[in-house]
A and B are shown apart, each in its own frame.
Chain A
Amino acid sequence: GAVVSQHPSWVICKSGTSVKIECRSLDFQATTMFWYRQFPKQSLMLMATSNEGSKATYEQGVEKDKFLINHASLTLSTLTVTSAHPEDSSFYICSAAPDRNSPLHFGNGTRLTVT
């Protein structure tokens, strides 16, 4: 149980375009989902907390107008990287838990490459 699915697993886009990443909880409902970013050989850094039916909460230093988060249902959160630049190239991973007493489960990540 507690499966989190992420799509796409990899994407290549041109500088200046936008990319949408989907995160779904397959066998549970999640009022909260977390978006992380991971650079090579570095740890996971929390970008934002996605809240169903309300605005996302962004970590300090993360541009909310660049990384748009929409949590429209209890099983789906999306991250849109707008006007992507090469420095946005990274590994983006989402996570969610069935309830507050369960561990977070992670999707398999999305490798974004901006050319």
Chain B
Amino acid sequence: EDQVTQSPEALRLQEGESSSLNCSYTVSGLRGLFWYRQDPGKGPEFLFTLYSAGEEKEKERLKATLTKKESFLHITAPKPEDSATYLCAVQAWDGNEKLTFGTGTRLTIIP
């Protein structure tokens, strides 16, 4: 069974204080690892897809990296508007497009 574990559960940072969120996963055969951002009361918003170990993707203050066992979402000099829950999900090579999600990291950036 595919499993995704995210840590920490919650993270409070001062504006400008960089940090990283962790996503550990076990999957029968990784087709893709996805990062989403979810604001309260909204659906997840797609951020990145990573396919193979060593791959990196960047978007503004966010950078996602991937190894064979985990992924990191690095946030550099965050701003209050980066406050959200960040979700990690995996998709397996089993003929199904479904995603298995972690429980997320609730990020709060304090001005």
Contact = CB atoms under 8 A, between A and B. Distances in A.
A43 B49 contact: no
B101 A43 contact: yes
Contacts of B45: 106
Contacts of A103: 32, 34, 46, 49
A46 B92 CA distance: 14
A34 interface: yes
Interface stretch (B14-22, B36-44, B60-68, B69-77): B36-44
Nearest to B36: A106
Nearest to A45: B101
Interface residues of B, number: 21
B98 interface: yes
A44 B101 contact: yes
A108 B100 CA distance: 19
Contact of A106 (B44, B49, B96, B97): B44
A44 B41 contact: no
B104 interface: yes
Given A46-B100, A103-B46, 13 more contacts: A6-B43, A32-B97, A34-B98, A43-B101, A45-B101, A46-B99, A97-B97, A103-B34, A103-B49, A104-B99, A105-B46, A106-B43, A108-B43
